[in-house]
Amino acid sequence: MTREDIEFQGEGGVTLRGWFYPAQNGDTPAPAVVMTHGMTAVKEMYLDDYAEVFAEAGLNVVVYDHRNYGESDGLPRQETDPILQHRDIRNAITYASTRPEVDPARIGLWGTSFAGGHALLVAAIDKRVKAVVSQVPFISGARSFGAQVRPDFVSHVRDQFNGDRLNRFTGGAPAMLAAITDDPAGQAMMPAPDAYEWFSKGSATRAPNWRNEVTARSLEWASEYEPGSYISRISPTPLLMLVANNDTVAPFQFALDAYEEAREPKQLKILSGGHFDAYGGPEFDECASAARDHFVKYLRA
């Protein structure tokens, strides 16, 4: 399938780079979907597969790397600032709306994992979004931090955050943390065994530019981020949530609790498997077709 390499300006003028997939077999201008990936992931990690499904259904697609990752600009490298990331998504929506192939009145938003949280927040505050899909979403920083960090380690981790903040303030380099680890006792942003397996395989086979590191401040900022608190404000924008019943990275129960707070129109699809089965795994077809049908129903109708 033909795609175009693109770049556009994110928040503060940072250049973001990605791909534009033109809608197939449809009228022009056609609807568009903006897509973004999760924590540390780059677009080559299966977002192209999703984009092709959407484009074949008559949807234009904008896919890009977050600032500080992959082909996008931004410093410090490997840093996830959730506020700037969701502001960049809004710039991506603006970029999509300027394309002659795109009907600016019919733009959807798809986010997965950490960006699944962004999708909830942006759909709540930016009503240019006419349909939203949130896949295995990050819901609550406080709850996730509490689930991942033992209570007796919390003060130590907070001390590390404060030390990094002081070091940066005095001109030092950011402290870095592994994104994944195969050491059960090791410290990482995503310590789950399936995270190690998926990122290791994906970087080896599809995304050699992925790096197994992230700034420590990214973990601090993630622990403060509460995108699920916006979910009741998404309505009347139609919401589809795709959640995995064995998800240990973005816990299943957190997503269910958030979904209860969402207002109609909303739809919940529960998948069998873990967090990463939606990407190139046994649940890919189910996730891709459900998201495609949601966007077709609400953007192409």
Closest CA to 189 of 157, 158, 214: 214
- Asked whether 88 and 34 are in contact (CB, 8 A), the reply is no
222 exposure class (CB count in 10 Å sphere: 0-12, 13-18, 19+): buried
**pLDDT given for residue 187 in this prediction:** 85
| Whole-number Å distance between alpha carbons of 151 and 108 | 40
| Whole-number Å distance between alpha carbons of 205 and 219 | 27
Tens-level pLDDT at each residue, the chain (301 residues) = 899 999 999 999 999 999 999 999 878 899 999 999 999 999 999 999 999 999 999 999 999 999 999 999 999 999 999 999 999 999 999 999 999 999 999 999 999 999 999 999 999 999 999 999 999 999 999 898 777 777 777 777 888 888 999 999 999 999 999 999 999 778 889 989 999 999 999 999 999 999 999 999 999 999 999 999 999 999 999 999 999 999 989 999 999 999 999 999 999 999 999 999 999 877 999 999 999 999 999 998 7
**pLDDT given for residue 158 in this prediction:** 85
| Whole-number Å distance between alpha carbons of 61 and 87 | 18
Predicted TM-score (pTM) above 0.75: yes
**pLDDT given for residue 151 in this prediction:** 75
**pLDDT given for residue 25 in this prediction:** 85
